[in-house]
Amino acid sequence: MQKVFDIKENKQKFDELLAYIESQDKSQGVLMQTLHKAQELFGYLPIEVQKFVSEKTKIPMAEIYGVATFYTQFSLEPKGKHTVGVCMGTACYVKNAQLVLDKLAKELNVAVGATTEDGLFTLEATRCLGCCGLAPVIMVDDTVYGKVDPKDVPEIVANYKK
Ligand code: FES
């Protein structure tokens, strides 16, 4: 089922975002901070939120969309309750991170970059997570798992289904 963004349901968040925008010093570049704030509030940057930012900051939609799609920290899709990041940096890649990623995609039945239908997991391929000695590394929310073997995947996933 396709999730629909409900503007009315999110009114309080829009009010909060507006208050944030109005508190900003407009002589400085405000777009990055505003999009960060919007993502913090809504969890992602749906088109309705981008339009709102454009309207309130007078920054063209094309510029907002360009920034929102260029930087990987911004997401245009709702994220799952848990984010599973598989490091695809060099050290992890040579230690078969791709097999771990494939196993996760199969176990969760989701494509890389997408969210499971139950909204529980978002699967992502990431850059180096800074703990290469533990390669291959995955990160679930704020927890790092090192030296992950594809056969460890079902147990790791099961912990987050409880
Ligand atoms: S390459 Fe994976 S943690 Fe550095």
Can you list the pairs that 89-95 forms with residues at least 24 positions away whose Cβ atoms lie under 8 Å?
Answer: 89/126, 89/127, 89/128, 89/129, 89/132, 89/135, 90/128, 91/128, 91/132, 91/135, 92/128, 92/132, 92/135, 92/136, 92/137, 94/135, 95/135, 95/136
Kindly state the tokens that stand for 115.
């969210």
Residue 1: pLDDT band (50, 70, 90) is very low
Q: The tokens 């180096």 sit on which residue?
A: 128
Q: Based on the domain organization, do 61 and 94 belong to the same domain?
A: no
Tens of pLDDT, residues 18-27:
999 999 887 6
Rounded average pLDDT over 30-43: 93
Residue 41: which domain range?
A: 11-70
User: What share of the chain in percent tops pLDDT 70?
Assistant: 98
Q: Is the pTM of the predicted complex or chain greater than 0.85?
A: no
Q: Based on the domain organization, do 87 and 141 belong to the same domain?
A: yes
Domain presence at residue 75: no
Residue 136 CA to ligand 1 centre (angstroms): 7
Q: Based on the domain organization, do 155 and 86 belong to the same domain?
A: yes
Ligand 1 in contact with 89 (CB < 6 A)? yes
pLDDT at 99: 98
Ligand 1 in contact with 35 (CB < 6 A)? no
Tens of pLDDT, residues 108-131:
999 998 899 998 999 999 999 999
